[in-house]
Structure 1
């Protein structure tokens, strides 16, 4: 890769700076008229107001002011614009990657009765309504401590505060007090009572009552997706009793996903049981019995086609579409060629690339569903005064993603080049191998929550700015787009794809390294950084609210 600039597609009329370029820099036949920060773009032609701006070979904006050749492209002179889309002929031919090196590889997973394979073995504690959040938290805390899953990683911080408080009382506080515990003195993790259960997790949320019927059904479907998830050994479900999200609806959604559901599951309704103490005692007794049964399952070899990988991005930057995302796209293509499943979501971040994606759908019906969901989502967003153009965050814009279409064109590269086998509406389950499109918001946690609910047993999450996002039941692997981020936030970043920008690794090499890491994490040999730090983010989507 050129160490200074990159024109991604031959038809692009803007170029990306790979490093900070000062005004006056000569690049071939272009002289820069402004300082161009790394990740930002400059014009490689003269733009008049209204001229189309193209990147990745697609329309990503329109000039709102004259931009001279060599000038900085920014929100001051470009606005969001995206191409239209319609039903075309199918375009499902693709260059299938050579997967001979992976054909006989396996991972060590938990085999379920429905034929799926988990990368973890967790017990879930699930509230059907927010009224039960406190009871869920109580059960979770008690079980975590007593069964050996509780590790107090706040001890170091408590020691630091104690030292600062003592220094302040003595009048010696100068900003340096409170070193805390060294790594050698931190307490060891406790021994588990149930060695084959990887953890006890809970799904606190703010929904279940007083919402729309659509949100109630969506919540029950999402919770059913987690309860039937291959990474889940069993579940305890707590209901108040009078809420909109009824046990009957949850059971209907479980049946949709697994008609022969046979995992241990405890369901209790507080208004039937009576006192809170009795309610909690019953829940603990029945849950413990379920844990005994769930502990019988052990890891066994499984082919890679049992992997279902969620493709996620968050805190994206101007390098996302050049390094981590296309490398993840290549890894996705390898998994698809092996018969596995991948999920590309975040529909507001597919704005502007709808035509190419719809053309890749295997049937007209699948393409029409994708376009229909995109149109309906965009219309709903506009109806509340916020179209897709509002999607980029302040951090995105600051680091070079100045329009939603520009962000989308880079984000879509996570999906590789394989045909699209299915299009799902939230919170439907993945049932077909290959590349699946799932309608979710661009919001990182809502999208990650949805991908796991649809069956992703591991998530690969690219980021240019850094994010600690994790998930209660599925490992979330962070891939940095640039080396500076990897070095700065090494406690939450698993893989550095900045080597592609640095020129020390190719996209193909990174894709292979990424897949090897996925296999190790799926087998339980390596923990995702988000799991080590105990990040368990879970946010259901309220339709039409989030971008």
Structure 2
């Protein structure tokens, strides 16, 4: 019989409801028995013992809050009776031992990727068009309109058909009520693609709101981020448009590119509007150079590469009370498999590591990295407090509604994405991954800002867990969407790729789900499977200005 509840760690004094539980219901978990004092919705937590006011609440074996009132055994934990609390941390001794998973079934496997001059391997092959400043965004729009459809990269999801049908109804004199009740038939199948350049997956336009008007540090960070995309293994080359007078100068971008790739080894064109003069002349030249670059990019073909060339970003968004017990630990096991195979993984979202700092600090291979992690976490949290916020204000209304009622509860579950391997490097935004193994990257908890940063640091695939549903994608790296519960997976199949609700339903273990995810990664990396975010053209790209973003 499948249990209705889960106690995540033996030391916990709370349990998770795996289904809706009624007041007065008697429950057993191992040798323990509970009588519920109130209705407990699925994904929420109840006290397993009497917890007095001001006492510590423990989940995942760590402090996740302190009670504001007495909470009886069997009582529901809510934002009214539980407030965020987390353990302090220090840079203590190194604890880097871990139990490597058995990877024998994958050791001889390869994926078919795009090999670059610097030795990296891409899981896709894109051309980039990049503005140095927001003033050039309109010119990117013009280039996009000129190139995308005629080269075979356009998408037709059928909504124009719906608009035409509505226009016809309006012309026949239908009322507002009749329009709202109309049964509109839409052909939502994707338009067949006839690419002129079959080896090029697309042209991506990285419009943004930066480059000028902020601090010089903002400009430097933006150039570093853009350099991460231009040098990315999934990118074959780039066209850069500059106005000329902005803070984010081309020389600054070239300096950042040099830090990441001393020899770029791919086509790279820069056009400066104030130097060229007329907009039409610049756009004409940009079109020619971009077309010529795509011709060169099309010469790249997929070839076998070892799985050690995978660099996996670990992300979560729209999390729920099941994320930390199904999807996140599942990709944590996938993370351990990738590390054991010699690959790299990136764990980010520093506001969502609040309360688990000690474990991650202890897992740092070097004392220097442990100290850097401590510095970045404390500095980030201090900046948040300076503007009247803090990591404790991280959970969103959706998180809270679905059981993540303190930041520490959310963070303890989110950290499961990183598995159990040692931390080989701690990176500040948006530094590049250079070491195989688990890397910590300082980013905000904002889904898109963090995903944008992970890809800039080298992730050639991103694993993105969600309990509520989010369509987040990235312009150049496939984002694999993983549902924490089967209800979400069935409801939003158009944007979700993998279901791990099977774990809470007792159908498979965390290890089995993690292995299944690795197999899917290999198929995606080889171009054999297309993720939902790529299929829908979900190209989310938001640079972080290093302000307080939780």
Residue in 2 that maps onto 1:180: 185
Determine if the alignment matches structure 1 residue 161 to structure 2 residue 150.
no
Kindly state the Cα deviation for residue 37 of structure 1 after the two structures are TM-superposed.
Answer: 0.2
Give the Cα–Cα distance (whole angstroms) in 2 for the partners of residues 314 and 288 of structure 1: 37
Q: Secondary structure at the match of 1:169?
A: coil
- 1:120 corresponds, among 113, 117, 124, to 124
Q: CA deviation at 1:166?
A: 4.7
2:252 to 249, 252, 267: 249
For 1:94, the equivalent position in structure 2 comes to 98
Residues 246 and 179 (structure 1), Cα distance of their counterparts in 2 relative to 1, 3 Å cut = same
Residue 3 of structure 1: how far off its partner (Å): 2.8
Change (3 A) 1:176 1:166: farther
The one-character-per-residue Cα deviations of 1:216-263 (angstroms, maximum 9, x if unpaired) are 111000000000000000001000000000000000000000001121
Residues 420-457 of structure 1, C-alpha deviation per residue, up to 9 Å, x if partnerless?
00000000000000000000000000000000000000
Cα deviation 1:351-376 (Å, max 9, x = unaligned): 00000000000010111111111011
Cα distance, 1:163 vs. partner?
Answer: 5.2
| Selected match of 2:230 from 227, 231, 243 | 227
Please state how far the C-alpha of 1:164 moved relative to its aligned partner.
Answer: 5.0
Q: Which residue of 1 aligns with 2:63?
A: 59
Q: Separation in 2 of the partners of 1:468 and 1:398?
A: 20
Aligned 1:66-145 pairs, distance under 5 A: 66-145=70-149
Q: Distance in 2 between matches of 1:476 and 1:423?
A: 23
Kindly indicate whether the alpha-carbon contact (under 8 Å) linking 2:156 and 2:191 is maintained by their aligned counterparts in 1: no
Residue 48 of structure 1, CA deviation: 1.5
Q: Please name the residue that 2:404 is paired with.
A: 401
TM-score (normalizing by structure 1): 0.98
Contact 1:162 1:178 in 2 (8 A): no
1:165 CA displacement: 3.2
Deviation at 1:167, TM superposition (A): 6.2
Instruction: State the shift of 1:189 in Å.
Output: 2.1
Distance apart, 1:292 and its partner CA: 1.1
Aligned length: 545
The 1:24/1:104 distance shift into structure 2, 3 A limit, reads same
Task: Note the C-alpha offset of 1:172.
Answer: 7.9
Q: Distance in 1 between matches of 2:79 and 2:223?
A: 41
TM-score (norm 2): 0.97
Q: 2:369, 2:510 → 1: CA distance? A: 30
Q: Partners of 2:233 and 2:162 in 1: how far apart?
A: 35
1:293 Cα shift? 1.0
- Does the 8 Å CA contact 1:257/1:429 hold for their aligned counterparts? yes
Indicate the SS of the match to 1:60: strand
The alpha-carbon deviation at position 287 of structure 1 amounts to 1.1
Partner of 1:314: 317
1:50 aligns with 2:57: no
Q: Which residue of 1 aligns with 2:282?
A: 279
- Per the TM alignment, residue 99 of structure 1 is displaced from its structure 2 partner at its CA by 0.4
Supply the distance in 2 between the matched residues of 1:41 and 1:156 (Cα, whole angstroms). Answer: 47
Q: Aligned residue for 2:211?
A: 208
For 1:496 and 1:252, locate their aligned partners in 2 and report how far apart those are by CA, in whole Å.
43
In 2: Cα distance, 1:400 partner to 1:108 partner: 41
Cα RMSD of the aligned pairs, angstroms, is 1.4
Note the residue ranges of structure 1 that are not aligned, 5 or more in a row.
Answer: none
Please give the alpha-carbon distance, in whole angstroms, between the structure 1 residues aligned to 2:324 and 2:315: 13
> What SS does structure 2 have at the residue aligned with 1:492?
coil
Cα distance in structure 2, aligned partners of 1:502 and 1:160: 44
Superposed CA deviations along residues 385-418 of structure 1, whole A, max 9, x for unmatched, are 1100110000000000000000000000000000
